[in-house]
Structure 1
Amino acid sequence: MRHSILMLSLAAVLAATTGCKRDAAPAGDAPASTAATAPAAAQMIDEHSYAQPDKVKVKDLALELKVDFDKKVIDGSATLALDWLDKAATQLVLDTRDLAIGKVVGERSDGKWEDLKYALAPADKVLGSKLTIETPQRNARVRITYTTSPDASGLQWLTAAMTEGKKTPFMFSQSQQIHARSWVPLQDTPSVRFTYTAHVLAPQDTMVVMSAAIEPGADNSGDKRDGDYSFRMPQAIPSYLLAIGAGDLVFKPISKRSGVWAEPTAVAKAVAEFADTEKMIETTEQLYGPYRWDRYDMLLLPPSFPYGGMENPRMTFLTPTVIVGDKSLVSLIAHELAHSWSGNLVTFSTAKDAWLNEGVTSYVENRIIESMYGKERADMENVIERNELKSEFTADNKPLQALAVKAGTLKDPDDNLGSTVYTKGAWFLQFLEQRFGRADFDAFLRGYFDHFAFQSISTDQFREYAKANLLDKYPGKVTQAEFDAWLFEPGVPADAPQTTSARFDAVDAARKAWLDAGTLPAKDASAKWTTQEWVHFIEGMPETLQPEQLAALDAAYHFTGTPNGEIAQRWYPLAVRSGYAAANAELAKFLERVGRRKLIMPTYKELVKTPAGLKLAEETFAKAKPGYHPITTGSVETTIAEAKAAPTK
């Protein structure tokens, strides 16, 4: 999952509950085995799941679903094919959240189905309800009939009026971190991987897509729109990659194996913005081995999507806020594509190992950007992210600054510190690359993807694999103590490689000249600035400015009302802190139109600091809430509630 190349913390506590298989590795020389790791059971304990995968594992999921836009629910059944590891086990324990269970049956050895006793425990606000099914015969398959809640944390329902086309309602899922359990009863932990099929009924004017191949046929033309759809995912995935979307969707190809699903009015501009996708796939294959998911399609979601992107295999979900007309934000595509290797192919086993997904992916993303758009752009993006890390790492959140987060630290799996799992994780890999040399480190990383392909692993397993295939193989370059300092200590080691940007140096000089003498950057220079340079220009400003100073910048650059969410994310908080009320009207429109947490939460957090700002935040949220995803709603509600509960000064 990517909040974007320019991200803030993920650590917003969500009110509702709270933001990646199977076949053998390809033939070839396998790196040294690292079987002598900690016991698998110890590695795979997931404190955010009720499931007991050491006793029984789901190996296949068959869904029968009916999408009901009027009731805002999904009705259906989930048939779980089971692998009984403990022959003495007589219970199947699943994760659910706000599901109405209608019936549970098990397949007998003679092929007939029988009713099974079950109990649904009281709900925990983070984990949901444990579903315990009595299976004295250790049934090969168990089927649960259920209905989702209209308030399911992993689903968003939009009326037709909330879509771009205004004709057809829209529904989409967001299963990461532990929201799959709100629309399917299953073992909702990344340590369990399963294949799946799905048969979905929907209104006839609605196209349905999933993180799977559309059956029959694989051309993804989108011509078949009859309200009856079937899907197949032959590669086993963890639950957080289970995904569905439904609405007025059409498909337009980018290449033979990639294309865009979007509303008819948006598909052309999306294809134009993402035109480099096939080249990105080829670039990553050259670096780290073949793309193993057959197709790489993208679903462009409404602006209410709470994240930048979600790496659902075969069907990346994307925010439209990255479409700015100049491809300056397509590193988001590079990030979600990179997850096809780091995350979807080799997956973290629990949320406390999140850096294995996001940190490795962020490193790969930067390598893709460097290869395609040059080192200068890759360096700018690194600088922005590391500046944000410096501001986010504080004395109060040191326990969340270690890559290897201790068990029990994450009360909610959505509470990972973004700068740790994304930026520090990527920085760690850059440190290793520089010490071992790019050629040898690339070979190591490619071997890592092959060795652990279609597996879920822990930080301990990564550590042991790196010891055998890097530290011991190339002695004298990195000590175990240096390696472990990155994993287990807070902050960033003093010898971390530093990145500079000559283009940012020029931006810094232009900003200083304006602050010192009111001299705006020369038009012939600023006209060529990219999104990254404008972001750096604003981020380097003092905490507050005089309103007249912001008015001067607005007159020159029209920041207020900008269609670029990355600029708006920086400009509006500065305007609020500085008392620049002239931005309020456009600020409110931005918060109403966009539901992406990374872009809007900084502004909400500034607004609630003053009585007038809190009033504007509440008024704006009341208008925006019907179009927000439950995850975003929870973040905003928590921010407002905490501000109202704080003692007045």
Structure 2
Amino acid sequence: MSLPRILSALGALIALVMLNTPVQADDAHSYARIKQVSTPHLELELTVDFDARKLRGQATYSLARHDNSTQLYLDTNELVIHRAELLVNDQWQPTKYTMGDIHPSLGRELIIDIGRSAGQVRIHYETVPTASGLQWLTPEQTAGKEHPFMFSQSQPIHARSWIPIQDTPALRMTYHATVRTPPGLLAVMSADNSLSDERPGEYHFSMPQPIPAYLIAIAAGDLAVQEISENVAVFAESYILEAAAWEFADTPAMIAATEAMYGPYRWDRYDLLVLPPSFPFGGMENPRLSFITPTVVSGDRSLINLIAHELAHSWSGNLVTNASWRDLWINEGFTSYVENRIMEALFGRDRAVMEQALGYQDLLDDMSRLPPPDTVLNIELGRRHPDDVFSQVPYVKGQLFLMYLEDKFGRETFDGFLRQYFADFAFQSISTEQFKQYLKRELLDKHPQTVSMEKVEEWIHQPGLPEDAPRPTSDAFVKVEQQMQRWLKGGQLATEAWTTHEWLHFINNLPLDISAQNMARLDQEFQLTQSQNNEIAHAWLKLAIIKNYEPARDRLHDYLIGIGRNKLVSPLYRELAKTPANLKWAREVYEQAKKGYHPLTQTVAESLLYANQ
């Protein structure tokens, strides 16, 4: 082989090694110094104290030393640290630790002296009742009314509120856990959960695949379990268990469809935990056990794209993870794209396009009120809390970017690229720069003159959407709009075959000057105020606020009190806050509702309702 070819091959090999080496990004949202000392394995012991609304226990870490540092840096937020110990010569010995200053977003750094030879460190600690990553529900706030309920939400940087931890997605770790609960309660985690009906009060978990801190999850309550298939089960309170198992019956088929497109499912089981209505998100992709809002149990399987989304994270996000929260689009944009491909594979192109179009409308709505810098995919966060910039931008703009690449390179080529991407970066955390290098080498350079790096840079680093971005439209929605125009002129709606997506498009696109008479006529004909589909009810109640449609006010009150999902309640509070009378009423409702809201939902609602106080 000639010298130029040798050098070329050597350069390619070096590039491959660099691209596939787990990145240890400088994370502005973590005090951890993982380039010095990292913690690849966690042994966790916790006791769940519902009376005190606390977790008490210890976190033991294996230490991986990368230089001569004698200190370990961890993230905490409101944790009470009792003591720290080192394992030296098979004996646990006390060691010194210090706590940094409190930062409003990041919490406090915990600095532990680890010497030069210790292989493990142990921290004894407890949480506080206000931990941002935990919610404690009284028996009265659950469906069964007999037992309390507790669950975590660690993403993006809330794991540090219930575990002293290196809380950066750049670090992945395995973990074992022992959890003790009061009698009669079942504990589950993002790990291997038993399907047994026994409730011994002590539970043991193992997560053998390395995951970032934000994917460590826990819940405990009066749970039952129902299997859907040999590797899929549903955990839930008994009142909703059977309905949820029916609603999510397509999950095994979703797994099979995704494996066919993007390679094997690498997490053994895929179970679902249906949480109380206070859960602040639609879902959370905790590996092996996705946390799911009960608001998607609609009785007609019309909202199960959310299940497809959380499942898709098993490839994009959990398997290949953003290295910092600036890179969130690497998780959510890819996941939104894969979700839509799953829905197309199972339910056809028409439904997939309707969901694309609804997402596109949501993106435009978000971008209309966001400052331009917050519409960039690789967003500059500084030390703003990552919660503050979750929007449709990383989800839908990221999805549109991948749709653009699919259109330019062809589906077969782009699918091959994604399948290889998930394989090459499996169980790694990567940065946007790392992705760009990989994209250039594995796709752009192999198909020259198709997409330029300048175009990639525009998508990732410029605000807004490129002029040639996909703009999904649905023929079904065109027909809905035609019916809308006839109805507004006094005609009838033929809605017998309408899906939830068509109803949402109809309500969201009604003219804002719609008359009170037409609001009443629509409600009388279709009982929208009383809709039990939470997405349709949300769209209708939002319009009712804008139009001061008083017959919906009692339903709006009950909706805001009964649901804690951010996506569904925060836009309603935002609309209510626009007029003095509605703002006064909304504050009164919020004071009744907030005890049932997760801390994250409380924070968002209060920023809307008390912005000037």
TM-score after normalising by structure 2:
0.96
Q: 2:113 aligns with which of 134, 137, 141?
A: 134
1:5-49 Cα offsets, whole Å, 9 max, x none, are xxxxxxxxxxxxxxxxxxxxxxxxxx9874486998996010000
2:510 is matched with 541
CA distance in 1, matches of 2:23, 2:253: 41
CA distance in 1, matches of 2:74, 2:48: 23
Q: 1:234 aligns with which of 200, 203, 208?
A: 208
* Aligned counterparts, 1:32-431, within 5 A: 34-35=15-16, 44-86=25-67, 88-108=68-88, 110-214=89-193, 220-394=194-368, 397-406=371-380, 408=382, 411-431=384-404
With over 3 angstroms needed to count, the CA separation of the structure-2 counterparts of 1:337 and 1:529, relative to structure 1, is: same
1:632 is matched with 601
With over 3 angstroms needed to count, the CA separation of the structure-2 counterparts of 1:40 and 1:452, relative to structure 1, is: closer
With over 3 angstroms needed to count, the CA separation of the structure-2 counterparts of 1:41 and 1:451, relative to structure 1, is: closer
Residue aligned with 1:266, SS: helix
Residue aligned with 1:191, SS: coil
Q: 2:414 aligns with which of 432, 441, 461?
A: 441
CA distance in 1, matches of 2:568, 2:326: 25
The answer to whether the 8 A contact 2:22-2:430 is kept is no
The answer to whether the 8 A contact 1:380-1:501 is kept is yes
1:448-483 Cα offsets, whole Å, 9 max, x none, are 000000000000011000101000011121111112
Residue aligned with 1:213, SS: coil
> Which amino acid letter does the alignment assign opposite residue 457 of structure 1?
I
Q: 2:405 aligns with which of 418, 432, 435?
A: 432
CA distance in 2, matches of 1:379, 1:576: 29
CA distance in 1, matches of 2:448, 2:153: 44
1:520 is matched with 492
CA distance in 2, matches of 1:138, 1:404: 40
The answer to whether the 8 A contact 2:177-2:206 is kept is yes
Structure 2 unmatched ranges of 5 or more: 1-11
Deviation at 1:68, TM superposition (A): 0.5
> Which amino acid letter does the alignment assign opposite residue 530 of structure 2?
G
CA distance in 2, matches of 1:417, 1:203: 36
Deviation at 1:289, TM superposition (A): 0.5
CA distance in 2, matches of 1:629, 1:487: 32
Deviation at 1:545, TM superposition (A): 2.9
With over 3 angstroms needed to count, the CA separation of the structure-2 counterparts of 1:296 and 1:32, relative to structure 1, is: farther
Residue aligned with 2:528, SS: coil
Deviation at 1:277, TM superposition (A): 0.4
Are 1:509 and 2:482 counterparts?
yes
CA distance in 1, matches of 2:20, 2:429: 14
CA distance in 2, matches of 1:172, 1:310: 12
Structure 1 unmatched ranges of 5 or more: 1-30, 215-219
Q: 1:489 aligns with which of 458, 462, 486?
A: 462
The answer to whether the 8 A contact 1:222-1:250 is kept is no
1:478-534 Cα offsets, whole Å, 9 max, x none, are 11111221111111111123322111011111112223x132313xxx021111000
The answer to whether the 8 A contact 1:32-1:468 is kept is no
CA distance in 1, matches of 2:340, 2:13: 27
1:498 is matched with 471
CA distance in 2, matches of 1:616, 1:373: 42
Identity %: 48
The answer to whether the 8 A contact 1:568-1:599 is kept is no
| Bigger mean CA offset, 32-41 vs 363-372 | 32-41
Residue aligned with 2:205, SS: strand
The answer to whether the 8 A contact 1:89-1:138 is kept is no
1:331-360 Cα offsets, whole Å, 9 max, x none, are 000000000000000000000000000000
1:305-346 Cα offsets, whole Å, 9 max, x none, are 000000000000000000111111000000000000000000
CA distance in 2, matches of 1:396, 1:359: 18
Deviation at 1:611, TM superposition (A): 2.0
Residue aligned with 1:65, SS: strand
With over 3 angstroms needed to count, the CA separation of the structure-2 counterparts of 1:54 and 1:571, relative to structure 1, is: same
CA distance in 2, matches of 1:234, 1:417: 30
Residue aligned with 1:230, SS: strand
1:13 is matched with none
Deviation at 1:136, TM superposition (A): 2.2
Q: 2:498 aligns with which of 529, 537, 546?
A: 529
CA distance in 2, matches of 1:415, 1:34: 35
| Bigger mean CA offset, 53-62 vs 549-558 | 549-558
| Bigger mean CA offset, 98-107 vs 411-420 | 411-420
The answer to whether the 8 A contact 1:575-1:583 is kept is yes
1:72-131 Cα offsets, whole Å, 9 max, x none, are 100000001110111x211111000010111111111x1111111111223211101111
Deviation at 1:573, TM superposition (A): 1.7
Residue aligned with 1:204, SS: coil
Residue aligned with 2:471, SS: coil
Are 1:576 and 2:556 counterparts?
no
2:528 is matched with 559
The answer to whether the 8 A contact 2:24-2:170 is kept is no
CA distance in 1, matches of 2:247, 2:100: 47
Residue aligned with 1:377, SS: helix
CA distance in 2, matches of 1:396, 1:175: 25
> Which amino acid letter does the alignment assign opposite residue 455 of structure 1?
Q
> Which amino acid letter does the alignment assign opposite residue 518 of structure 1?
G
CA distance in 2, matches of 1:499, 1:124: 42
CA distance in 2, matches of 1:130, 1:62: 20
Residue aligned with 1:521, SS: coil
> Which amino acid letter does the alignment assign opposite residue 105 of structure 1?
E
Residue aligned with 1:496, SS: coil
RMSD: 1.7
Are 1:468 and 2:447 counterparts?
no
1:571-604 Cα offsets, whole Å, 9 max, x none, are 1121111111111111010000000000011111
Residue aligned with 2:31, SS: coil
With over 3 angstroms needed to count, the CA separation of the structure-2 counterparts of 1:360 and 1:308, relative to structure 1, is: same
CA distance in 1, matches of 2:460, 2:16: 20
1:3 is matched with none
| Residues paired across the two proteins, number | 602
Q: 1:586 aligns with which of 547, 555, 563?
A: 555
The answer to whether the 8 A contact 2:63-2:119 is kept is yes
The answer to whether the 8 A contact 2:46-2:57 is kept is yes
